[in-house]
Amino acid sequence: MIQKILIANRGEIALRIVRACRELGIKTLAVYSEADVQSLHVQLADEAICIGGPKSEDSYMRADRIISAAEIADVDAIHPGYGFLSENAKFAEQCESCNIKFIGPKSHSIKIMGDKSVARETVRKANVPTVPGSDGPIESEAAAVKIARKIGYPIIIKAVAGGGGRGMRIAHNDVSFAKEYHIARAEAEKTFGNGSVYIEKFVQNPRHIEFQILADSHGKVLHLGERDCSVQRRHQKLIEESPSPFLTSDLRKRMGKAAVRAAEAAEYENAGTIEFIVDAKGEFYFIEMNTRIQVEHPVTEEVTGIDLIKEQIRIAAGEKLNMDQKDIEFRGHAIECRINAEDPARNFIPSPGTIGLYYAPGGHGVRVDSHVYSGYTIPSYYDSMIGKLIAYGDNRKTALERMYRALSEYLIRGIKTTIPLHKAILSDPIFIAGKATTAYLEEFLSRTPPDLF
Ligand code: ADP
Ligand code: ADP
Ligand code: MG
């Protein structure tokens, strides 16, 4: 039985978890940094404990303090959210050894999928297509050049420990390769404390299409359909939707099955995501698995009617999934826009500060997941995402129209946000036609005068 959960995160996802717990009758403990006293998740949780200074290294990344808070407050489980310690195998292990349930997969699954090169090998053995690339990490520059030539340029150099869109460099020939290889290694070492890199063919103009997985501790693995996250800036997602306007029902079936095989290969348990890139011909390739709840999980919730956070908690409590693959039905269309405190007209420079007036849109088919409110001060220490706007409709056209309407109602005064950019994208014929690939946003920005957003 889980009666009380510690939420080892902040922002909108912490609030999302508080809400799910409330509905399940589970008590919540918020842990927070000195910069987050004002945050809504701290106000709305049943209990709250301050765990340190504003920098995440002094608070949200401090496993020791979080586990101490869990012991003091006598919680049964810890929900890690996304980012921070959510994909840290050691933290999952520490929780288990203190007899606190980690709401996520077992640490050995996190380890397999947390090393992107090991992940590739693991799923390849389970007959899941991977992008042509190096078998394992690169040993030396000379070995790397040989592999790059064999694969054929352009290639992408990726950190085995990468995440959050960082640690990736593209090379077009031997000369740029040597340069990018050294930059990639140094960046990986600095950002992830692990300089190990691997190489993949750089697939031109692909779609990013990922599958949501739910797996229980009794061996049942299901997929909850796809999310198309092709609208990206610097490999970071900005807009996500489900279903993908690109997939045929045959391709969806084949990718869904491959996603389930990939999760099974890691003996996966709980919610997770298998990410693929898909080329223009419909060839699909595994790129990585995220072993946690994802930012964009609400679009799946809207089209399936399944509450993913509640499922995560039930799975962690040892319950069996009470559905089979055939029971999962997809209805309508959902789209999510990430609302970031950034100025899109000035190269997306972060725009922290105090929000004056705040008014969130509502009405039929509109959902806002956000922890901010009028008078809230956005700290400068964390990710710039301050909320997610989700619109649902019977079909893609209705969902897009509703999203535009909701964006037009959304008032966030005092800071710059990505709202005007989202409105411009939602008015763009290429996006409306469902033709956006991962190359889309850069092309859109290059032809759109910044004063339009
Ligand atoms: P999603 O795949 O759910 O869309 P993102 O890739 O946007 O998630 O990452 C979610 C959050 O986690 C972001 O704040 C991102 O910066 C952070 N993040 C994800 N992976 C890592 C990592 N390996 N190291 C540091 N931060 C990460
Ligand atoms: P992260 O762990 O940072 O999320 P991913 O491996 O998921 O990194 O890649 C992030 C994004 O980078 C993808 O969504 C895609 O847009 C791009 N990308 C990654 N690998 C490739 C590739 N081999 N070819 C083309 N684009 C890629
Ligand atoms: Mg990814």
User: What is the band of 262 on the pLDDT scale with cuts at 50, 70, 90?
Assistant: very high
User: What is the band of 73 on the pLDDT scale with cuts at 50, 70, 90?
Assistant: very high
Q: What is the pLDDT of residue 250?
A: 98
Query: Which residues form the catalytic set?
Result: 292
Highest mean pLDDT among 4-8, 135-139, 448-452: 4-8
Whether pLDDT at 125 is above 90:
yes
| Pocket flag, ligand 2, residue 200 (CB < 6 Å) | yes
**Average confidence score pLDDT of the chain:** 97
Whether pLDDT at 451 is above 90:
no
pTM: 0.97
The domain spans of the chain are: 4-103, 132-201, 207-452
> pLDDT, tens digit, for every residue of 343-395?
999 999 999 999 999 999 999 999 999 999 999 999 999 999 999 999 999 99
Most informative mutation of 110, 295, 337, 438 for ligand 1 (most atoms within 8 A of CB) = 295
| Pocket flag, ligand 2, residue 152 (CB < 6 Å) | no
Whether pLDDT at 139 is above 90:
no
Lowest-confidence pick of 4-13, 171-180, 206-215: 171-180
Q: What is the pLDDT of residue 86?
A: 98
| Pocket flag, ligand 2, residue 164 (CB < 6 Å) | yes
The residue assigned the tokens 């011909």 is 281
CA of 295 to the centre of ligand 1 (A): 8
CATH of domain 207-452: 3.30.470.20
| Pocket flag, ligand 2, residue 344 (CB < 6 Å) | no
Which ligand has the minimum distance to the alpha carbon of residue 294?
Answer: 1
CATH 3.30.1490.20 given to domain 132-201: yes
207-452 has the same fold as 132-201: no
Whether pLDDT at 31 is above 90:
yes
Most informative mutation of 287, 288, 437, 440 for ligand 2 (most atoms within 8 A of CB) = 287
User: What is the band of 52 on the pLDDT scale with cuts at 50, 70, 90?
Assistant: very high
Mean pLDDT value across residues 54-83: 98
Question: For 4-103, which CATH class?
Answer: alpha beta
Whether pLDDT at 235 is above 90:
yes
CA of 164 to the centre of ligand 1 (A): 4
